[in-house]
Structure 1
Amino acid sequence: MKKFLLLSALVSSVLLAGQKQYEISPMIGYDLAEGNIGIKHNGHYLGALEVQFNSPNSKISPEFSILYSPKAKYDIGGDTAITRGAFNGVYTFDSIDNLVPFAKAGIGIENVNNETSGNKNGFFLDAGAGLKYFFNDNIALKAEAIYLAKATGIQNKRFDNNLIAMVGLTFAFGETAVQEEPKQEPIKEEPKEEVVAAPVDGDDDNDGILNSKDQCPNTAAGVEVDANGCDNDIDKDGVVNAQDICPNTPLGAQVNDEGCPKEVTLNINFATNSAKIKDSSSTLLDEYAKFLTTYTNYSAHIVGHTDSRGAAAYNKKLSEKRAEAVVQALIARGVDTKQLSWEGMGEEQPIADNKTSEGRSQNRRIEAQLTRH
């Protein structure tokens, strides 16, 4: 229990409300072509399918897309089908409520089914920008504009230009994998030098306790000690060891008169956009439940928090569900329901800057406010 209180006060929770791993976007649009290509009215309609792969550790995601125009008419008569395949890198900006801006650039190849002297097969470079408006976690309205510059087989000294505008729906699914924190090697302590007892009983550490009775013979100068010569308040929380039931609280933590923290941060792991607690948090919940069942004069108020990404209303509900999930997990481990309460604060009480990845990570947390009756 003592190790648990120290651990829970030093770490923050991992509450991910990030983007899905995969996005598939069927689109329709219009291609405004350069006049020298010979397309009638300088344009034609097209359809597209875009597939994007997201990572929680990068703002740039790979995207594969196919654009198909079934019938582009020529000024000279006749028509042709045009098929394009492209590979792009998509940079996703921070969301503004439900809006997610993005920009992209890449390379592709264009196949013209019925070539003319002005419209040939060739490679192209593209760049574009757009917006996604999320109705919920899985469906969004997507709009984008793309500029294409194509070098044809016989016109390598210049590019043919196309401007494409498209709109469609994005279907997002799949959980992104959470990057595990790197393991730190334990710090090796240097072996302590063996102290040879003086033949005459003295007080080597000057704490007022003779060496023969001093169970802590190397107490620092000026530290108040007990009858055994040991630090009378080992965690420096103002509560002497004999009355401290939580003697390992971190330095500076606010404690009650029994030496226990008034508030701790629980490192509870959840699935992305879910209130289901992962199995990796089982041990932490076991230890916290053991404390509450041992000291029934304590109650805990569980509070969920999120970062500012996504809609505020959605973050509020998600934080409430996750706080309630922690409460139910504690009840299942034998904690009396009268000892527990919960609420969700969403993104309302950040403890760090939401503009940085590190700050958002600190804001995604579960807090447990302890009260002694």
Structure 2
Amino acid sequence: MKRILLLSALVSSVLLAGQKQYEISPMIGYDLTEGNIDIKNDGHFLGGVEVQFNSTDSKISPEFSILYSPKAKYEAGGDSSITRGAFNGVYTFDTTNNFVPFAKAGIGIENVGNETEANQDGFFLDAGVGTKYFFTEDIALKAEAIYLAKYANQNAGHFDSNLIAMVGLTFAFGDSTQPQPKEEPKQEVIKEEPVVVAQPIDGDDDNDGVLNSKDQCPNTKAGLEVDEKGCELDSDKDGVLNSLDICPNTPIGANVNSDGCPQEVTLQINFQTNSSDITSASTTYVDKFAEFLKTYSNYSAKIVGYTDSKGSAAYNKKLSQKRADSVVNALKERGVDPKQLSSDGMGEENPVADNSTKEGRAKNRRIEAELTKH
């Protein structure tokens, strides 16, 4: 009996990932028998298959199992096969930290291939516990311990005890049938038809999408984007309508001409330290300004260079002139008419920020373009 209790304590819990409608579990294990049936060393190996049918309507699932011991050796010599068939009810507990233990109990019949006086065919009752651990949604490791009490005629009403410990793989398949919600009887809803009040005809004479009764700009040209009042938009709020604005992203508050362009534009062009070479990161801005001047040839641009206050004023004057000339040359290379371009170097004059800070000095090192419309 001590050996039976020890073997029972070695069965470990494992995980259960999810429940399918059917489970088939090939199993192997060891049967530790009571000494009075004369099995040598009181035990033998066995294997078998367990088939379980799950339902979402109940925590108790039916299970059918067949267990087979090919060779149980007798103390007196010889051996015998033992075949068992059982029907059990399996109760599955709630998941706790991914562990789903189960317990089961049932009844079965045992056939002894080579009967002896101490070991004969008979019916048995069984009960067990175990757990499963799913490696994937469909495959799990299964471990369980089962106590089996067999009734045989020769024992005059007594039961022979067996303790079986098994492990195996569970293959699950088939989605569990989910209970269908009961359909509530549909109540007929009688909808009242809305009363339609005749409205006066309201047209849209200028075809801008705003009805005449709300259109405050009734003669808008076709195709122009308008606001809810039917008036053409001024997206950058510079006082020049979008259809006339050739500089659509002018900063708010800047003084602009009739084309919506400011008189001075700060070009985001950077240079290497103490150099008039334009950095590669600034070429995009040079390209865009060149396209503007080529498109609107009625504009000329005076390129003005500035520096911060570091260094001598004379040096900064020369450096700013070189940088302004460098931008002019870059614009010419991109096809801008030289007649549209001029340059000037202002050095550290006209700062737009505080030269005592790093950020202020960075803002003062700039290139500006003074635009003139002809």
TM range, smaller chain: 0.3 to 0.5
Normalising by structure 2, report the TM-score. 0.45
Larger Rg: 2
